[in-house]
Amino acid sequence: MLLLNLISKLKGESPNKDEDTINFTAAEGVAIGIDLGTTYSCAAAVMGETLTIISSESGQYAIPSVIYFSEDGKEVRVGEDAKRTFDPKRSIHMIKRFMGREYDAPATQKDVKMVTYDVRKSTKQGSVGQCEVHIPSTAEPSGVRVVTPELLSGMILMKLKTLAEEQLGMEVTSANITVPAYFGDRERRATIKAGELAGLKVKKVLNEPTAASIAFGVKSKGDEEVVPLIFDLGGGTFDISVLTIESDVFETLATEGDAQLGGADWDHVLALEMVDDHFKKTGKKIEKDSEEFRVLTQEAEKLKRSLSVLHDADLQLSLGEHDINFSITRAHFEHITRHLMSKCVLLLKKALRNRSVPQIDQVVLVGGSTRMPAIAEMILKETHIEPLYNVVNPDIAVAAGAAYQIAAVTGQATKSVVLLDVTPLGLGIETVNGILANIIEKDAAVPTRKTKKFTTAADNQTSVTIKVFESDRTRTTDLRAMDKFDLVGLPAKPKGEVQVDVTFEMNTDGVLVVTAECAEANVKKSIQVKGALSMTDEQIAEARADAEKYFEADKKYSEFVQAKQNVEAFLSQVRKQISEDAVKQALGDDHETLEDLVKKYTRWLESESSEDAETYEEKFKEIQAEISPLLAKTYGAGAGGADGEQAYDEANEYDL
C-alpha cells in the first residue's frame, strides 16, 4: 500500500491532504539500521546477538541507489533492476547529493552537471530555492513529472524496508538512518522526511563514521579504551571521525569531511578520460548528457574496481557508432585523480591537527572506495598506522553499526551502546567590540551544558543583548547572528560590577537552549535558538575554511581589542579611585593633575582610530608611567597597591 501511495504521488495523485506526508499506523515491529548511500544503500538488523545483513534479489548486500520511471508512468523500479534499465532522463541516481540542498549553492551546481536527469530550482511553497527533479512522462498533461529528492530517497528506503520484511519475516516499523557527519540540519530533516514517506519511524539520524565505529567496537569486543580514526569514503560522500571507545561508550572527538566527494567523482574523471581518449583516436565526441556517457561511467566504476587489484585494465565496448578501445594503468589513474586525493589528504591532516585528538590507535577503513590502494598508502604515510581492512566489511559497516545502536535502544539486542556526538563548529555570543566568545567549543561532545560569566561593559548598564553565533571565527562583524534576545532589569552599577551568567545547553537532537541570568537582580531569560546546527555541510565547510583563512587577521583584531580594553579599564579604574574622598585627601594638589591626565588620555582613546594592538600597548606604558607614580601616594588611603605600585585588574575579555 505504501509503495502504491509513493507511486500515486509520482503520478500526480494525492491519497492524503498533505502531498508530502504518508500516514502510517502499525504496531511496534522490527527496528533496522539503514545506510542510505549516494550510489549504494544497505540495511541490517540485530536480534539478540545475531546480525543480519539484508540482501538484494541477487544476494548482494549493496543495493544500487537508483530509481527508474517508465515513460508512461505505470512502472517504477528501484535498485538492481533500475540500474539495469537505465534511461539518462528517467533514471535517478546520486539523489542524496540534492537532499535538503539549495539549488543555487556552488556545490549543488557542480553535482547538477554530473547527473544526466533534469534538476531544477523549486518554486513550491515550503521548499523555495531547494532542488526538485523533472522527469519526462506521457502520463502527465505537462509531459513532466516533478518529484522531490525526499520522495525519491523514500522510494529507496521503501525498497530496503520491503526486502528486510521479506527476509526477517516480520514487519519493519522503525529505523536508524545514517548520514555524513557533515550533513547540516536541513539535510538531516530531509532524511527524516524520506524515512516517514517510506513508512518508517526514524529513531535517530546517525553520523556514518559513528555508526561504523559502533560496528568496529562491537566486533573488537574490547573493554580497554581505543582511539580509532574512521576513514569513510563512500560512493558520494567522504567523512573522517576520531572517536574514543571504552566498553560500550562511543565518544566522537573530531569530525571532518566533504559531502560532495566520493567514489563517483573518481568514476566521473575516468569516464571523461575515456571520452577524451576516444576523441583523440577517432575524432568522435561523446556528450556528457548522453546514454553513451552514462554507460561509460558505469564501465569506469568497473575499471576502478579492477585497478584496485590489478596494475592495468582495459575496455573494449561497442556503443552505437562508437567503438571504445581503452587501456589504463593504475599509475595513470592515480595521476588523473590526484586532485581528488589531495582533498582527502587535506581533510585527514585537519582531523589529525585537532587539539581534541589524542594519539590515534587504529585507522578503520569504511566505504567501498577505500579499496583503492592509493587511499591506504596515503593514510599510512600521514598516520604511520597500517589501515585495518578485515575488522569490519567496509560495505556493510555503517548499516551494521546503525542496526546495533537501534537494537540496543529498542531492546532487540543484548549489547548496550552509548553515543556521544560532537558539534561541527563553535557556539558562542558577541561581546564588546564584536569579539565572539565561544561557550561551546568546536568538536564538543553532545549532549553538553556550558556556562560562562560575563560583566557589563558600561556604567549604569541595565540591559544586555545576547547575540548567538555558530562559527570558528573570533570576529562577529562578518557573521550573521543565529538568534538574539535582551536581558533587562540589571542593577545600575559601574561597568564590570554586574555579572551575567550565560548557559548553552544542547541535547542529542541538536536542540540549543540559551539562558542568560543575573542572580543579583533575580532576572533570567531563555530561548530555544532557531536554526541551531542548521548549517548545510557546504556552509560548515565554508565556515571552517573562513576560520583558517582569516585566522591571522582575526587574531590581530582580538589582540587590538584586548589592548584597547586594557587602556579603557585602567582609566576607568583610576577615575573611580580618585573620586573617593580619602584618595582626594591623600593626593592633595596632585588630584587635579590626575583628573587632567585621565581626561587627556580618555580623549586620545576616543579619537584614536588605529586597530594596531602595539599602538595601544605603547600608549598604555606611557599612561602608566605618568599616572602610577602619582597614585603611589594614595597607598594606604583605600586605593590599593603594594610596594608603591597600583593594583590593576586587566580588562575582562567577556564584557557585554
- From 35, 102, 132, 505, active-site residue: 35
Q: Which comes out higher in pLDDT, residue 92 or 248?
A: 92
Statement: 263-339 belongs to CATH 3.30.750.24? no
d(C-alpha 456, C-alpha 597), whole Å: 25
Strand 63-64 and strand 40-47: the pairing is antiparallel
User: Which of the following is catalytic: 111, 132, 150, 232?
Assistant: 232
Mean pLDDT for the stretch of residues 175-182:
87
The domains of the chain are located at 2-260+342-420, 263-339, 427-549, 555-634
Architecture of domain 555-634: Up-down Bundle (1.20)
Region 561-585 average pLDDT:
82
Q: Is 35 a catalytic residue?
A: yes
Q: How far apart are CA 228 and CA 236, in angstroms?
A: 23
Closest CA to 268 of 296, 306, 227: 296
Tell me what pLDDT residue 391 has: 60
Q: What is the pLDDT of residue 178?
A: 92
DSSP line for 205-255: EEEHHHHHHHHHHHHH---S-B-EEEEEE-SS-EEEEEEEEETTEEEEEEE
Is 208 an active-site residue? yes
Q: What is the mean pLDDT of the segment spanning 213-236? A: 77
CA dist 291 and 464 (Å) reads 62
pLDDT-based confidence at residue 27 (cuts at 50, 70, 90)? very low
Residues 533-569: pLDDT tens digits? 455 555 666 666 666 676 677 778 778 888 887 888 8
On the question of pLDDT at 53 being above 80, the answer is: yes
Of 102, 132, 208, 292, catalytic: 208
Q: Which among 188, 126, 181, 101 has a CA at the least distance from the CA of 511?
A: 188
124-133, 186-195, 435-444: range with highest mean pLDDT? 186-195
Rounded Cα distance, 551 and 473, in Å: 7
pLDDT at 510: 65
pLDDT at 420 over 60: no
pLDDT reported for residue 150: 94
pLDDT over 60 at 651, yes or no: no
Q: Which of 127, 80, 137, 68 is nearest to 103 (CA)?
A: 127
Q: What does the pLDDT average to over 126-141? A: 87
Contact indicator for 456, 489 with CB cutoff of 8 Å:
no
At residue 175, the pLDDT reads 94
pLDDT given at position 152: 96
For the question of residue 219 being annotated catalytic, the response is: no
> What local confidence, expressed as pLDDT, does residue 11 receive?
36
CATH numeric code, 2-260+342-420:
3.30.420.40
- State percent of the chain over pLDDT 70: 84
Which residue type occupies 181?
A: A
State the amino acid at position 348 in one-letter form.
L
Give every CB contact of residue 211 below 8 A, 6+ residues apart in sequence: 33, 35, 176, 178, 397, 398, 399, 400, 401, 402, 405
Lowest mean pLDDT across 134-138, 404-408, 426-430, 647-651: 647-651
Instruction: Count CB neighbours of 610 within 10 A.
Output: 11
Residue with the bigger pLDDT between 639 and 346: it is 346
Q: In this predicted model, what pLDDT tens digit does every residue of 349-363 receive, in sequence order?
A: 988 887 667 788 888
Closest CA to 324 of 371, 277, 290: 277
DSSP string covering 601-656: HHHHHHH-----HHHHHHHHHHHHHHHHHHHGGGTTTTS--BTTB---PPPPTTB-
Which percentage of the chain shows pLDDT scores above 90?
A: 31
CA-to-CA distance for 655 and 565, rounded, in angstroms? 10
Say if residues 270 and 298 touch (Cβ distance below 8 Å).
no
As a whole number, the mean pLDDT across the chain is: 81
Read off the pLDDT of residues 452-493 as tens digits, 9 standing for 90 and up: 889 888 889 999 999 988 877 777 776 767 888 999 999 998
Q: Looking at residue 562, what is its pLDDT? A: 80
Are the beta carbons of 411 and 425 closer than 8 angstroms?
Answer: no
Between 1.10.10.10, 2.60.34.10, 3.40.50.620, 3.30.9.40, what CATH number should domain 427-549 receive?
Answer: 2.60.34.10
Q: Strands 499-506, 448-455: parallel, antiparallel or unpaired by DSSP? A: antiparallel
Position with higher pLDDT, 235 vs 480: 235
pLDDT tens digits for range 606-626 = 888 888 888 888 888 888 888
- Choose, from 9, 96, 204, 619, the residue flagged as catalytic: 96
pLDDT at 538: 59
Which pTM value belongs to this model?
0.60
Q: Over 80: is that where the pLDDT of 195 sits?
A: yes
